[in-house]
Amino acid sequence: MFGRLIEYLDSIRARDPAPRSRWEVLLYPGVIALGFHRIAHWLFEANLFFLARLVNHIARFLTAIDIHPGATIGRNFFIDHGFVVIGETAEIHDNVTIYQGATLGGTNPTSGVGGKRHPTICEGAIISLGAAVLGPINIGARARVGANAVVTKDVAEGAVVVGIPAKPMLVDAQEYQKDFVPYGTQCADRFDPATQQLDLLKCEIEVLRSRLSALIEERDAAAKADVAARKNG
Amino acid 200: pLDDT: 53
Burial 121-153 (b: 16+ CB within 10 A, else e): bbbbbbbbbbbbbbbbbbbbbbbbbbbbbbbee
Neighbours of 73 (CB within 10 A): 19
> Residues 67-90: what's their mean pLDDT?
92
pLDDT at position 176 over 70: no
Q: What is the DSSP string of 154-171?
A: -B-TT-EEETTTTEE---
CB 175 within 8 Å of CB 181: yes
CB distance 160 to 171 below 8 Å: yes
Domain-wise residue ranges, the chain: 2-187, 188-233
pLDDT classification of 73: cutoffs 50, 70, 90: very high
Phi, psi of 97 (to 5 degrees): -125, 130
Residue 175 has pLDDT above 60, yes or no: no
* 219, pLDDT greater than 80: yes
The DSSP code sequence of 159-214 is -EEETTTTEE----HHHHT-S--GGG----GGG-HHHHHHHHHHHHHHHHHHHHHH
Share of residues in the chain with pLDDT > 90 (%): 44
Q: Are 21 and 33 in contact (CB under 8 A)?
A: no
Q: Is 55 helix (H, G, I), strand (E, B) or coil?
A: helix
Range 31-59 average pLDDT: 95
Among the residue ranges 59-68, 98-107, 202-211, the one predicted with the least confidence is 202-211
pLDDT tens string 101-123 = 999 998 776 655 568 899 999 99
Could you tell me the pLDDT band of residue 23, with boundaries at 50, 70 and 90?
confident
Average pLDDT over residues 149-170: 87
Q: Say whether pLDDT at 47 is over 70.
A: yes
Over 80: is that where the pLDDT of 24 sits? yes
pLDDT value, residue 230: 79
Neighbours of 170 (CB within 10 A): 6
The mean pLDDT value for 167-173 works out to 67
Q: Which residues of 44-70 are buried (b: 16+ CB within 10 A; e: fewer)?
A: beeeeeeebeebbeebbeebebbbbbb
Instruction: Give CATH for domain 2-187.
Output: 2.160.10.10
Whether pLDDT at 170 is above 80: no
Q: What's the chain's length in residues?
A: 233
Which DSSP letter does residue 94 get? T
Model confidence, pTM? 0.71
Opening angle at CA 26, ends 22 and 30, nearest 5: 120
**pLDDT band per the 50, 70, 90 thresholds, residue 89:** very high
Span 128-150, mean pLDDT?
A: 91
Mean pLDDT of 35-62: 95
pLDDT band at 221 (very low <50, low <70, confident <90, very high): confident
